[in-house]
Amino acid sequence: MQRDDFRLKIRQILLTDWDPVGIRDNPKLSDEYDRYVSVVEEEIIRTDSVELVSELLKEIETNQIGLETTDALRRATAIKLVALRS
């Protein structure tokens, strides 16, 4: 998979599956999570651990966004992100 396609898929998963701010249905805000794509990309290239990717999402929620989703939602999102490796 080419890097641009990889990043686009990460972006889409963050927006449609993770979405801690709740903006997925507002096309004007579709770039809300773009600043996190590269850090998520680095993590899923570095590891295939769903737990570590889930922890990264929680860290972003807590330290940068200020809103939290659930552990189950983070885990489900992390599973999809890690699956992009294959």
Report the distance separating Cα 66 and Cα 61, nearest Å. 6
Q: Tokens 């599973």 identify what position?
A: 79
Please, are residues 69 and 61 in contact by the beta-carbon 8 Å criterion? yes
Q: In the chain, what are the domain boundaries?
A: 3-83
pLDDT at 1 over 70: no
Q: How much is the pTM? A: 0.94
pLDDT for res 2: 87
pLDDT band at 9 (very low <50, low <70, confident <90, very high): very high
Phi, psi dihedrals of residue 23, rounded to the nearest 5°: -115, 5
